[in-house]
Chains A and B, each alone.
Chain A
Amino acid sequence: MGRSGAAGQPCAMGFVGIDKKRHVSKDDRNEADAKRLLWVGHMIRIRDHKDRAAFAELFGHFAPRIKGFLMKSGADASLAEECAQDVMATCWHKAGMFDASRASVATWIFTIARNRRIDILRRQRRPEPDDLPWGPEAEPDQEDVVALQQDTELLGKALADLPEAQKELIKLAYFGELTHSEIASETGLPLGTIKSRLRLALERLRHAMT
């Protein structure tokens, strides 16, 4: 947590209402962190209040990206449009499953879109590991949420800053055109910090479940 410092504090105070008290910093990174926590707050409002305005904002940002992702994975525009709507509807219905201590909203939406791609383009089931949900009352620690969102932001920045050729390889892997891609660990992307954080999050969850 050392890295997050004071900049993380306003967020940690209450990310649920962060859109109202959002502290817009001059520093780009703080702004990006706040943006991520804003999406997290949107997901929580969709879950708790069926908030259509929050959903509309989420839709405006993510739906075109899902559509683009599916088109780059080989879907034509109308199929991609249809699937993107379907993925966003799933986000609404499954909002209760989203855990911001284990995934950014982008990560979570990516997993839904990826599964839909396998389902529709390859006509296959997508086996997933056993669910590890928080109980109906338990919520993840907000510090964990903020830390994971910040780590993910750093990963995103690192990805955006990669040389074009390396970026291209990662793109090809996630758009389904390249397998056995070990490039992710060879590009110097900051994956280790996220992994250890997720490992801890899982330990806490296992502990809470017993």
Chain B
Amino acid sequence: MTQKIKHHLNDATLMDYAAGNLPEAFNLIVAAHLSLCDTCRAQAMTFDALGGEVLEHLSGTADADDTPVRMDAQSLRSTMALIAGGPVEQITVKRSKDAVLPGPVQDYVGGGLENVRWRPVGMGVRQAILPTAKGATARLLHIPAGAAMPDHGHRGQEMTLVLQGAFQDEDDYFARGDVEIADSDLHHTPVADIHEDCICLAVTDAPLQFDGLLPKIAQRFLRI
């Protein structure tokens, strides 16, 4: 299932994910990729293990001097009371089966692919912006088979995870589970594979840069 994935997340991103230092939209695309890619999942879990060792070895003392951190006198009793109060959160998350959207994306869509509220972007492309915290934007993109996205560059970092179909750009061919990582150096025109409409999850931490005048105007309205 995961052998076919060729384009993975890099260690810096996976470590930031484990350390909890990414904006929410990037956390979402990492979680979505890890749901599809056990290679990266194992690497992320390795960085979790390092976090566990940081907790074990480096966090037990207060900052200024080396005095150990202490819990309040009644702390254990309060915790037992908290436990007696019952589970604060649901333990098992039930997810509707969806062949396209991984679980974490379903959480943001509020269900499977049929629940996505698409809006046309032009040239047959549709998008749905997912509700994440400020600082970065996550959107689902639906690109008709064979269609091209407008030629664009990037001010910040953009990551695109293919969830259905495939696309090709100047760099390579990206299929389900593959992530393309673009930074401000990459200028590309992705074209969806002819066989199937392409659905992607794309996250950006800065607006894209379009070359044509029309997309530039559209950008202001569409928040691409």
Contact = CB atoms under 8 A, between A and B. Distances in A.
What are the nearest 7 A-B pairs in CB distance? A107-B52, A106-B52, A129-B34, A127-B31, A68-B69, A69-B59, A130-B103
Interface of B: 1, 11-12, 15-16, 18-22, 24, 27-28, 30-32, 34-35, 38-39, 41-43, 45-63, 68-72, 75-76, 78-80, 82-83, 87-89, 91-93, 95, 102-104, 107-108, 132-133
A127 B20 contact: no
A113 B19 CA distance: 11
B83 A89 contact: yes
Contacts of B11: 182, 184-185
- Chain A CB count within 10 A is highest, among B11, B21, B38, for B21
Contact of B50 (A81, A123, A189): A189
A137 B49 CA distance: 26
B76 A56 contact: yes
A58 to B, nearest CB: 10
B19 A106 contact: no
Interface stretch (A17-25, A138-146, A167-175): A167-175
Which of B46, B92, B103 lies at the interface centre, i.e. has the most chain A CB atoms within 10 A of its CB?
B46
Interface in A91-144: 92-94, 96-97, 102-104, 106-111, 113-115, 117-118, 122-131
B107 A127 contact: yes
Contacts of A68: 59-62, 69
Interface of A: 52, 56, 59-60, 62-69, 71-72, 81, 84-86, 88-90, 92-94, 96-97, 102-104, 106-111, 113-115, 117-118, 122-131, 152, 155-156, 159-160, 167, 170-171, 173-176, 178-182, 184-185, 189, 191, 194-196, 198-199, 202-203, 206
B156 to A, nearest CB: 13
A129 B49 contact: no
A58 B48 CA distance: 19
Given A93-B88, A107-B49, A72 B63 contact: yes
Contacts of B63: 71-72
A109 B53 CA distance: 11
Given A68-B60, A110-B55, A94 B78 contact: no
A59 B77 CA distance: 11
Nearest to B105: A127
Given A103-B49, A110-B52, A126-B27, 13 more contacts: A56-B76, A63-B75, A71-B69, A81-B71, A89-B88, A92-B83, A110-B48, A113-B55, A115-B20, A124-B24, A127-B31, A152-B53, A156-B56
Nearest to A173: B19
B177 to A, nearest CB: 12
Given A71-B69, A89-B88, A109-B52, A124 B42 contact: no
Nearest to A114: B20
A155 B42 CA distance: 15
B91 A94 contact: yes
A90 to B, nearest CB: 7
A130 B47 contact: no
Contacts of B59: 65-66, 68-69, 72, 175
A127 B50 contact: no
Contact of A65 (B15, B69, B92): B69
B53 A176 contact: no
